[in-house]
Structure 1
């Protein structure tokens, strides 16, 4: 990573993890261990829950929570203002994420659904606690994103990459509550007196547990809200990493070095990523599987890809025509 990017909103740390939020870093390490253990569970435990091995969900959440935790731990290091607030929120996130994950593990041990489950008093209480934790995680992430909205730095491109990634991450989290809404089929069954105690689900247009993709568990016959949920959440990693790639390429191609070009590319990537998120969300909400897109979906994806390519070429081309190259970013 370049010095300029490391100095996104402040001085570069003297050590690789100096200024990082330590509790979040510890949580990320714990999730790495959890990922190994739950993957072993996937291989060794023959039980199946809602169409997939019972330990697949804890495994996927370990990877996602670990990525989330290590990213926000690093971002605390590059803040120049609001660090005390970020520290408090970081501790709060460690607690909330731990509660969320513990609930998943408990239900996996029991062979029970962890979300949308009100089949017993214990399931209901645990589900409510996890739901409240998820809502507070979203609010906490929004507060952290706001801190970066007011951040200042010499490297404006890096700041804007972090801002866009953080805000789109919160948007992705917003698909969580949609999954918890009772479906029409569930409502009809409940009113008829033979409901199963399940309220909500991942799939749209089809029940959970049907034909799905390996590992992800995403439906192959209907829409799946986990797709925009995942795409949105990980914008916080993808967009800044694209800028890191631009900085690396700038060592060879000077046209990528000027601040204006870097800011322009961040803008193009951010808008393109938002377009991708909107498209997969639209596809899921229409009850359409990711692997069976219709003409409308393919057209939207093509428009997003075209904008990304043409926009990036235009930004770099205008920068080259203006001929105002700066010295390539120092390593």
Structure 2
């Protein structure tokens, strides 16, 4: 994923083609960056699993599913960018057919994240602090379930835009979220990055020696869900970030 990100960034200055007002390489760059962080986070969190479970069948399925689904998503997005065609909401027959497969792959990718979080909660390493295990579990389960919810809301329509121009032109890099209307991608971003936010919160609480860290972690998880749903509601109402 990091290699694809670098290739996209190198290609941008030399390729003037655009899709929805921005470089054709913006979308594969964003997805590659997101999946690079996603996979790094899962690798970092892997030791939160009990030792006997790290190489078990469930763990192997989660790893294989993450690699296959993530690799397919970013690979197809990059390939479409190379030929100057959109990967999402494509109008040509092949693009439209594969877009449906992409939706399934995205759901499976999020389910892998949620399954990993559930496995950490169920079979976590007892030598790791319970609050840290709970932060990892909540982060991955939240990212998976909220990611599916917000992703289906985007994929089930005609695009992420609500009440504004269907273009990324003039928006702030690197995200290029709409400045003229609601954009469901904001909520989706918050959703999937719960897997970093909540483990980081757990680490910070332990580092600071906070009293009742589990209660603070629960409050933080509820707050992140509320923030995600709030961003979703604003986007559906056509309110720009």
Q: State TM-score, norm by structure 1.
A: 0.66
Aligned residue number for residue 320 of structure 1 = none
Q: Is residue 198–residue 221 contact of structure 2 (8 Å, CA) maintained in 1?
A: yes
Aligned residue number for residue 24 of structure 1 = none
* Pick aligned residue for 1:94 from 56, 67, 76: 67
205-214 or 281-290: bigger deviation: 205-214
* Pick aligned residue for 1:137 from 98, 102, 109: 109
1:276 match: secondary structure: helix
Q: Measure the CA separation in 2 of the matches of 1:162 and 1:236.
A: 7
Whose helix fraction is larger, Structure 1's or Structure 2's? 2
Q: Per the alignment, do residues 78 and 219 of structure 1 end up closer, same or farther by CA in structure 2, a change over 3 Å counting?
A: same
Q: Is residue 76–residue 86 contact of structure 1 (8 Å, CA) maintained in 2?
A: no
Return the offset for 1:207: 4.1
1:289 match: secondary structure: coil
Q: Is residue 39–residue 55 contact of structure 1 (8 Å, CA) maintained in 2?
A: yes
Matched length:
234
1:108-187 equivalences under 5 Å are: 108-117=81-90, 119-152=91-124, 153=126, 155-170=129-144, 171-182=146-157
Q: Structure 1: give runs of 5+ residues left out of the alignment.
A: 1-30, 183-199, 251-255, 291-331
Q: Measure the CA separation in 2 of the matches of 1:51 and 1:243.
A: 40
Q: Is residue 157–residue 262 contact of structure 1 (8 Å, CA) maintained in 2?
A: yes
Return the offset for 1:273: 1.4
Aligned residue number for residue 27 of structure 1 = none
Aligned residue number for residue 249 of structure 1 = 208
Q: Measure the CA separation in 2 of the matches of 1:44 and 1:142.
A: 39
2:106 match: secondary structure: helix
Max radius of gyration: which structure? 1
* Pick aligned residue for 2:220 from 260, 269, 273: 269
Q: Is residue 117–residue 141 contact of structure 2 (8 Å, CA) maintained in 1?
A: yes
Q: State TM-score, norm by structure 2.
A: 0.89
Counterpart check, 1:47 vs 2:37: no
Q: Measure the CA separation in 1 of the matches of 2:202 and 2:13.
A: 37
Return the offset for 1:213: 2.5
Aligned residue number for residue 232 of structure 2 = 281
2:217 match: secondary structure: helix
Q: Structure 2: give runs of 5+ residues left out of the alignment.
A: none
Q: Is residue 145–residue 167 contact of structure 1 (8 Å, CA) maintained in 2?
A: yes
Return the offset for 1:54: 0.8
1:150 match: secondary structure: helix
Q: Deviations over 1:56-105 (max 9, x none)?
A: 11111111000111111222222016431112221121011111111101
1:192-203 equivalences under 5 Å are: 200-203=158-161
